[in-house]
Amino acid sequence: AVEGPIAGYLIDKFGPRIMLTIGAFIVAIGYILLSQVNSFLWFLTIYLGIISLAFNATFSGSTMAVVNNWFIRRKGLAMAISIAAYSLGGSIIAPLLAFGIHHLGWRTTMALSGIMLAAVVVPFAQLLRSSPEALGLKPDGDTPRIESKLDEVGVKPILSSVDFTVSEALRTKSYWLLAIGTMLRTGTLGTLIVHFVPIMVWKGNSEQTAAVMLGIMAFLSIPMRIGIGWLGDRWSRSKMLAAGMALGAFSLMILQNANSSFQVWLFISVFSVVEGLSALNWALVGDYFGRKRFATLRGILSLVYSWGMIVMPIVAGGIFDRTGSYNTVIWIFVGMYICGTILFLVIQRPRTPFLVKDKTQN
């Protein structure tokens, strides 16, 4: 949460390629150092103080900034593919890590992970170009001639043509509505993921079955993300986010009243759609505030929305410990999704800075 604005500023200032290269190198060194730890204190210091900070500061921020710079008409789909790659990577890498730990030991596996990360990510990061203009292109890979033809037939909407500065964005109501809506979405989603297994056990499933359910929901979210991103390029992203939040409230009411495995699986199927909304959220930041300060503005958003993921899991755990039930927690989540639905329904594109200045001068 705290490093988000700083990391975003550095990405905007030095470019995603440089920041991703440095971050990948630091994470790689962190994994190699992790293989040598002999105490829990050093484990926390290296994993949280080096690996996590470097990863969170550079990987998602850099890739999202590149996507936002390269795409306008297809931004939703492009961001969805980028985010889905995280889930796909986890589904591929996690079994490999488990295999390595079982056969080689965790120390050797951690060291090899660091070496492979540096050998793969650092070279590929050099291929990144922070903007299409660096290659003489326009967003979406259009040439100037193609762009003019699209304008003539009205295919290309006027989006991201004006870039807000950080101070201009922070003075808009839209930015803070987006921040609160994002906090409600990510805080509720993150808490449900953290508590998913005990919730499923509370509903009468074994821990092993609950773990399988969680994996299936994560797998289902991959095509959902891509499909929702594709639709977001054709419909209103804010209205789709509102519909997704309403669907989240509906899915939780299914879970609240579930007394059979069919109803639990119905909840999982519906909620996997909600898990796929993140691409729309970040595409909306680019739509509203442009390209030049995207990483900084996204980083400041993280300073707001991360607190939902920090506080809410603890509150949910405390309520369950005192009551022995997740009923109250689920109803709170339903209320938060309903509030998020309203926020994304009323949010509007902020007025461009020069229009505001002209009105003030007149």
How would you write the pLDDT of the chain (362 residues) with one tens digit per residue? 788 888 889 998 898 899 999 999 999 999 999 999 999 999 999 998 899 888 887 888 888 899 998 998 889 999 999 888 887 777 778 778 888 888 999 999 999 999 999 999 999 999 888 888 878 888 887 776 655 554 554 444 444 457 899 999 999 999 999 999 999 999 999 999 999 999 999 998 888 888 888 888 888 888 888 999 999 999 999 999 999 999 999 999 999 998 888 999 999 999 988 888 888 999 999 999 988 899 999 999 988 888 888 899 999 999 999 999 999 999 999 999 999 999 999 999 998 765 545 444 44
Amino acid at 340: G
The model carries a pTM of: 0.81
Left (φ > 0), alpha (ψ -120 to 50) or beta: where does 5 sit?
alpha
Distance CA 201, CA 35 (A): 34
Tokens of 70: 């390269």
Q: What is the 3-state secondary structure (H, E, C) of 229-275?
A: HHHHCCCCHHHHHHHHHHHHHHHHHHHHCCCCHHHHHHHHHHHHHHH
C-alpha 141 chain-centroid distance: 24
